[in-house]
Amino acid sequence: MNDVNEELKVRETTTQSDPGAASIAEDVQVTPRPPVLEVKDLTTYYPINRGLAGRLLGHEAKTVHAVDGVSLRVDAGEFVALVGESGCGKTSTVMTILGATKATSGSVRVKGEEIVGRTPREMLSVYRHLQMIYQDPYGSLDPRFRVSDTVEEPLLVHGVGATKQERRSLVLAALESAGLSPADLYIDRFPHELSGGQRQRVAIATALILEPSLLLADEPVSMLDVSVRASVLNLLDELRRTRDMAIVMVTHDLSTAGHFADRIVVMYLGRIVEEGPAKEVLANPQHPYTKALISVVPKPDPRDRSTPQTLSGETPNPVDIPAGCRFHPRCPIAREECAKSDPRLRLSVKVRIESHRVACHLA
Amino acid sequence: MISVPLFSVRDLHVWFELPDGRELHAVNGVSFDLHAGEVLGLVGESGCGKTTTILATMGLLPSSADVAGEIRINGEEILHGGEASVRPHRWRDIAMVFQGAMNCFSPVRTVGSQIVEPMKLHGIAKGAEARRRAGELLEMVGIPAASADRFPHEFSGGMRQRAAIAMALACEPKILLADEPTTGLDVMVQAQILELLASLADTLGLAVVLVTHDLPVVAEACSRAAVMYAGRIAELGSVDDLYHDSHHPYTRLLFAATPDLLGDDRVVSIPGSPPRLDREIVGCPFRERCDSAVAECATEEPALHLVGSSHVAACHLNDLIENVRQ
């Protein structure tokens, strides 16, 4: 009880001394460079097929709220990790940014260009700046294509490189920069002649050949062996530094996110529940969901044991989203107000870092 | 008093015959012991022989495989008699949760009816008694007994994995082999499944072999672990020894390649890839990727030597250090 009072007092005093804190954090910061990616109030709903019988019987039309009001800003050269359990909407967010899934509402700007509502043909010009690598390097490469055909394809689509020789030298350069060196050794091979790590490097070379400003990556190393994961991640890290390329990586691995990302964005049921500088979010988490996620990450040192706070159950069905704070049914510290009002993403009263924001009534 | 281990594997070898007549030496002299209530980790990269090792102990390898060595359950050797001597023990004494087992339920039958099946097959129970036991097994893994009448698609991924574990326990085995039981599951569900395995080992006195490529999972869930490389055990010891006092460069490099949540150490991958197992390996199989190989490593294969109490490693450096000390 004391704790609670003290917390409320702290909150009161901070509000008095710094009344504009929360609103300042929500204003767009003025920086000389425009962001590479700016997402505002993005929603992606999937309709559920009621079937003919359901329609005739007049069943209510239901939708899956996969992404439900996400705002995100990514600057050039920034490495952002989207983390959360399966079904939290992290992959849907990325697929909507890519334009592979239709946004229901909201705005996505890539280098200032609005892409929501574009047709696939109109999206084509955007893909010169926006590329994606997928989770499964065994499934994402065409088994009948040689490495050279796969990596060359974006050049043909976008009409880059006038002659075959020119394109081949671009392919060689892309392979080298993706760490497949000497490139001569790999360019004429088929995917089945490559290891998982090498295939993922081919996928990276394909994504990089147009020198995009933004790379989306969906669990890029989860299918790879531990011994090669680090090299693929180190490669991505180096590329964003040398080319000023921004990366948005979806991962469920908080340790990887903490090591490689500048910023961690934690999602739950289609919403961002906490975001901030990676090390800060991991060392000083504010949202009870983030705290629980961090507590269950297995640690390599057996002496480093904290009691895991396993949450009961799994992410609820995104069809029936709980009222109030969507995390409250699983929250270990939920109070009455949490079932009633939906917390906004705002600056926490307990942390004073402007970029560290949390959506919790009690943080 | 030295008690007979519940589960003992001695000098296990597996060769696969390739279509062109050559042989691939997939498991090369693996030995370990396991007592009741213990959780042992088998960890290593893909292709290191960890899954082949546990499949061999269940007698589940295809006919193209040649198996040699000793496998003892409560002191009784089960491998030499072939299928006839393995069969009575399979599922009843030693059971397995296969990789991806949670996706292998038949979609058109209730979960309960599928858990009942091994009980009927092995004559453990049938009819109402078997259904009652299926309910109990589900309760044991944390699923309400009434869910036995539901179909797999009504279960979440975590629940299906729990049900797969319940199914493996249907004939009350003493040894449970779990192949990558948390791969493909979320961190939250992974923590729940690891908690479940630990509590089953504890309450049922089950000996568990946990196969995984994930070192932190081993550190979290196991008391001891064997690090495997190229079909061999490179190092075996308590998880504490492996992390704080590793005696094999491969173990050390594997930890260095694993990001730690709040650690600031640079994460470094291990260059190169494991050697081909369809050719003879001269010297230490890890030599080409090792950061501290010496001349000896190219000519002579290191044997497993004791480097601490119940801690063994196969590396020439340990012998060199020992010689210098003496």
The helix (run of H) or strand (run of E) holding residue A198 is: helix A196-208
Residue B12 sits in the same domain as residue B154: no
Res. A17 pLDDT band, cuts 50 70 90 = very low
| Residue pointed to by tokens 């395995």 | B197
Pairing of strands B175-179, B207-212: parallel
User: A67-91 burial, b for 16+ CB within 10 Å, e for fewer?
Assistant: bbbbebbbbbbbbbbbbbbbbbbbb
Whether pLDDT at A26 is above 50: no
Give the whole-number percent of chain B exceeding pLDDT 90: 78
| Span A225-236, pLDDT tens digits | 888 888 889 999
Residue A248 sits in the same domain as residue A185: no
Please check whether residue B131 lies inside any domain of the structure. yes
CB-CB under 8 Å, A292 with B188:
yes
Identify the pLDDT of residue A62.
84
Please check whether residue B318 lies inside any domain of the structure. no
Res. A246 pLDDT band, cuts 50 70 90 = very high
Give A269's strand partners.
none
The mean per-residue pLDDT over the stretch A256-270 comes to 94
Residue A123 sits in the same domain as residue A220: yes
Q: How far apart are CA B29 and CA B21, in angstroms?
A: 22
Q: How far apart are CA A178 and CA A172, in angstroms?
A: 10
Measure B220 CA to nearest chain A CA, in Å: 6
Residue A200 sits in the same domain as residue A329: no
Residue A183 sits in the same domain as residue A148: yes
Please check whether residue B66 lies inside any domain of the structure. yes
Among A160, A176, A211, the domain boundary falls at A211
Q: How far apart are CA B194 and CA A23, in angstroms?
A: 43
Residue B112 sits in the same domain as residue B208: no
Among A181, A211, A241, the domain boundary falls at A211
Residue B214 sits in the same domain as residue B73: yes
Identify the pLDDT of residue A19.
41
Res. A32 pLDDT band, cuts 50 70 90 = low
- Which positions in chain A touch B270 (Cβ < 8 Å)? 227-228
CA B133 vs CA B67, B115, B128, B136: distances in Å: 36, 9, 9, 5
The mean per-residue pLDDT over the stretch B114-128 comes to 91
Identify the pLDDT of residue B196.
94
Residue B156 sits in the same domain as residue B253: no
Please check whether residue B29 lies inside any domain of the structure. yes
| Residue pointed to by tokens 């009880």 | A1
User: How many Cα atoms are found within 13 Å in the side-chain-facing hemisphere of B54?
Assistant: 26
- Helix, strand, or coil (residue A176): helix
Measure A291 CA to nearest chain B CA, in Å: 12
Measure B184 CA to nearest chain A CA, in Å: 9
Residue of B nearest to A289 (CA): B188
Asked if A89 contacts A110 with a C-beta cutoff of 8 angstroms, the reply is no
Please check whether residue B42 lies inside any domain of the structure. yes
Residue A290 sits in the same domain as residue A270: yes
Residue A241 sits in the same domain as residue A195: no
The helix (run of H) or strand (run of E) holding residue A172 is: helix A164-177
Residue B89 sits in the same domain as residue B178: yes
E strands, chain A, where?
A: 37-47, 63-74, 79-83, 105-110, 113-114, 130-133, 214-218, 246-251, 263-268, 271-277, 346-347, 357-358
Give the whole-number percent of chain A exceeding pLDDT 90: 64
- Which positions in chain A touch B223 (Cβ < 8 Å)? none
Residue A261 sits in the same domain as residue A336: yes
Question: Which burial class, exposed, middle or buried, applies to A256 when counting CB atoms under 10 A from its CB (0-12, 13-18, 19+)?
Answer: buried
Residue A173 sits in the same domain as residue A297: no
Residue B78 sits in the same domain as residue B20: yes
Most confident range (mean pLDDT) of A20-24, A250-254, B183-187 is: A250-254
Out of A86, A231, A259, name the one closest to residue B259 (CB): A259
Give B237's strand partners.
B225
Tell whether A133 lies on the interface with B, counting CB pairs under 8 A.
no
Residue A249 sits in the same domain as residue A327: yes
| Span B83-118, pLDDT tens digits | 999 999 999 999 999 988 888 899 999 999 999 999
Whether pLDDT at B181 is above 90: yes
The total number of structural domains in chain B stands at: 2
Candidates A246, A343, A336; CA nearest to A34 is: A246
For A194, the domain range is 139-211
Residue B247 sits in the same domain as residue B210: yes
Please check whether residue A321 lies inside any domain of the structure. yes
φ/ψ bin of A161: left (φ > 0), alpha (ψ from -120 to 50), beta (otherwise)? left
The total number of structural domains in chain A stands at: 2
Residue B115 sits in the same domain as residue B244: no
Measure A349 CA to nearest chain B CA, in Å: 23
Q: How far apart are CA B184 and CA B261, in angstroms?
A: 20
- Which positions in chain B touch A254 (Cβ < 8 Å)? 187, 261
- Which positions in chain B touch A233 (Cβ < 8 Å)? 267
Q: How far apart are CA B169 and CA B139, in angstroms?
A: 12
The DSSP symbol for A86 reads T
Q: How far apart are CA A23 and CA A6, in angstroms?
A: 24
Among B260, B276, B292, the domain boundary falls at B276
| Span A329-338, pLDDT tens digits | 999 999 999 9
Higher local confidence (pLDDT), A221 or B263: A221
| Span A132-170, pLDDT tens digits | 999 888 888 999 999 999 999 999 999 998 899 999 999
Mean pLDDT of chain A: 87
Please check whether residue A69 lies inside any domain of the structure. no
Q: At what angle do helices B249-256 and A226-243 cross, to 10 degrees?
A: 40
φ/ψ bin of A40: left (φ > 0), alpha (ψ from -120 to 50), beta (otherwise)? beta
Among B244, B261, B276, the domain boundary falls at B276
E strands, B139-195, where?
A: 175-179
Residue B148 sits in the same domain as residue B217: no
Residue A218 sits in the same domain as residue A353: yes
Whether pLDDT at A15 is above 70: no
Instruction: Give the mutation candidate from B50, B187, B243 for the A interface (greatest A CB count, under 10 A).
Output: B187
- Which positions in chain B touch A282 (Cβ < 8 Å)? 261-262
DSSP of B45-69, one letter per residue?
STTSSHHHHHHHHTT-S-TTEEEEE
Whether pLDDT at A22 is above 70: no
- Which positions in chain A touch B190 (Cβ < 8 Å)? 296, 298
Q: Which ipTM value was assigned to this complex?
A: 0.85
Please check whether residue A353 lies inside any domain of the structure. yes
Residue B191 sits in the same domain as residue B86: yes
Identify the pLDDT of residue B232.
97
The mean per-residue pLDDT over the stretch B139-166 comes to 92
Residue A189 sits in the same domain as residue A225: no
Tokens coding A196: 């998982």
Identify the pLDDT of residue B101.
85
Identify the pLDDT of residue A152.
95
Q: What is the CATH number of the domain that holds A343?
A: 3.40.50.300
Please check whether residue A18 lies inside any domain of the structure. no
Res. A24 pLDDT band, cuts 50 70 90 = very low
- Which positions in chain A touch B260 (Cβ < 8 Å)? 255, 299-301
Whether pLDDT at A29 is above 70: no
- Which positions in chain A touch B220 (Cβ < 8 Å)? 298-299, 302
Res. A307 pLDDT band, cuts 50 70 90 = confident
Whether pLDDT at A130 is above 60: yes
Residue of B nearest to A230 (CA): B269
Identify the pLDDT of residue B315.
96
Instruction: Give the mutation candidate from A90, A225, A268, A310 for the B interface (greatest B CB count, under 10 A).
Output: A225
Please check whether residue A65 lies inside any domain of the structure. no
Please check whether residue A279 lies inside any domain of the structure. yes
Out of A228, A301, A310, name the one closest to residue B192 (CB): A310
Among A211, A239, A269, the domain boundary falls at A211
Please check whether residue A166 lies inside any domain of the structure. yes
Q: Which residues, including other chains, have CB under 8 Å from residue B224's CB and lie 6 or more apart?
A: B38, B40, B41, B236, B237, B238, B239, B310
The mean per-residue pLDDT over the stretch B232-250 comes to 96
Q: What is the CATH number of the domain that holds B237?
A: 3.40.50.300
Residue B196 sits in the same domain as residue B228: yes
Residue A121 sits in the same domain as residue A165: no
Residue B200 sits in the same domain as residue B139: no
CB-CB under 8 Å, A292 with B267:
no
- Which positions in chain B touch A86 (Cβ < 8 Å)? 157, 186
Please check whether residue B53 lies inside any domain of the structure. yes
For B268, the domain range is 7-93+173-276
Identify the pLDDT of residue A18.
42
The DSSP symbol for B184 reads T
Please check whether residue B75 lies inside any domain of the structure. yes
Out of B186, B239, B268, name the one closest to residue A230 (CB): B268
Please check whether residue A67 lies inside any domain of the structure. no
Out of A228, A299, A303, name the one closest to residue B216 (CB): A299
Measure B297 CA to nearest chain A CA, in Å: 21
Res. A313 pLDDT band, cuts 50 70 90 = low
Alpha helices in A209-335 (DSSP H): 226-243, 254-260, 278-283, 288-295
